[in-house]
Amino acid sequence: MTQGRVFRIGQIVPSSNTTMETEIPAILRAREAVAPERFSFHASRMRMKKVTREELAAMDADSDRCALELSDARVDVLGYACLVAIMSMGKGYHRISEQRLHQRTVDNAAPAPVVTSAGALVDGLHAIGAKKVSILAPYMKPLTQLVIDYIEHEGIEVVDSISLEIPDNLEVGRQDPLAPAEITKRLKTAGVDAIVASACVQMPSLASVDLIEQRTGLPVVSSAVSTTFMMLKRLGLRTHAPGAGSLLGGRY
């Protein structure tokens, strides 16, 4: 297989996030084994340590700087890697954020599409036709409810949820990536169309996605899987990567 073009993946990352820069590259490296395109990864960080509404709002204000810095590197697509930061800013805010950050790249003469993990999760669920879902999240219960309200505002009913109630973002990143395969056994899944194995880019779950699909027979997505899916869509590439669940099976 002849090597294809190298695409530059820009990542806007919370300063305490340790998972986006492992799971998204892992998905795309797996894709490189079956497709010619290659990827390089470039990150800019915005400060956040505790997952509170106050810190999330302050962090979001820093995302413009990150978009500007990454556009200096002439990245081909930008991914904003904090689902709850976007959702905590108000219903539908992912559209505002994506447009604003895209404009920063345009103003820097390096236009690039922007994907937010919040918007990507919604778009990924719509892509597979999900109307009802159950979700696993690491957040405190009020923030999980905020995520539920956001998803339901986008026309997707959340039937059940589990909140791990971990306020420290570093601790979220230390969770076992196989844990969601066990924890999701406690979710009510009767009548749902899909399961969200991790409604947080920082909570590791990639190793669990296929396992949950095999057990339940349902499509399983995560914030990282959905973000990768939408990045590939924005780049005009086939949405296929082995080992990342139905959404990245190449059908959508």
Q: Tell me the pLDDT of the chain (252 aa) as tens digits.
A: 667 899 999 999 988 899 999 999 999 999 999 999 999 999 999 987 777 777 777 888 889 999 999 999 999 999 999 888 889 889 999 999 999 999 999 999 999 999 999 999 999 999 999 999 999 999 999 999 999 999 999 999 999 999 999 988 889 999 999 999 999 999 999 999 999 999 999 999 999 999 999 999 999 999 999 999 999 999 999 999 999 999 999 999
Are 171 and 53 in contact by the 8 Å Cβ rule? The answer is no
Q: Does some domain include residue 177?
A: yes
Q: Which of 28, 67, 82, 197 is catalytic?
A: 82
Same domain membership, residue 142 and residue 113? no
Q: Do 218 and 234 sit in the same domain of this protein?
A: no
Output the six-digit token pair for 203: 């909570």
pLDDT tens profile 109-150: 999 999 999 999 999 999 999 999 999 999 999 999 999 999
State whether 28 and 108 are in the same domain: yes
64 occurs within a structural domain: yes
Inside any domain, residue 172: yes
Instruction: Tell me the DSSP string of the chain.
Output: ----PEEEEEEEEETT--SHHHHHHHHHHHHHTTSS-EEEEEEEEE---B--HHHHHHHHHTHHHHHHHHHHTT-SEEEE--HHHHHTT-TTHHHHHHHHHHHHHHHTT----EEEHHHHHHHHHHHTT-SEEEEEE-S-HHHHHHHHHHHHHTT-EEEEEEE----BHHHHHTS-TTHHHHHGGGS--TT-SEEEEESSTTS--HHHHHHHHHHH-S-EEEHHHHHHHHHHHHHT---B-TTS-GGGBS--
Q: Is residue 1 part of a domain?
A: no
Identify whether residues 114 and 231 lie together within a single domain. Answer: yes
Domain co-membership, 176 together with 209:
yes
**Residue tagged active-site, from 200, 230, 232, 244:** 200
**Residue 213, domain member (yes or no):** yes
Question: 88 and 164 share a domain?
Answer: no
Total-model pTM: 0.95
| Number of domains comprising the chain | 2
82 has catalytic annotation = yes
Q: Is 66 a catalytic residue?
A: no
- In a domain, residue 38? The reply is yes
pLDDT the model gives residue 16: 87
129 shares its domain with 70: no
* Same-domain pairing of 114 and 10: yes
Alpha-carbon torsion, ordered 170, 146, 121, 107, to 10 deg: -80
One domain, residues 181 and 153? yes
Answer yes or no: are the C-beta atoms of 123 and 154 closer than 8 Å: no
Rg of the Cα trace of the chain? Answer: 17
The CATH number that applies at residue 144 is 3.40.50.12500
**90 in any annotated domain:** yes
pLDDT reported for residue 60: 84
Same domain for 22 and 70:
yes
Residues 214 and 236 in one domain: no
Annotated binding-site residues for substrate read: 17, 82-84, 139, 169, 201-202
Domain assignment present for 161: yes
> What pLDDT was estimated at residue 246?
98
**pLDDT for the residue numbered 48:** 77
Q: Which domain holds residue 71?
A: 6-118+225-248
Domain identity same for 93 and 17: yes
The reported pLDDT for the residue numbered 1 is: 62
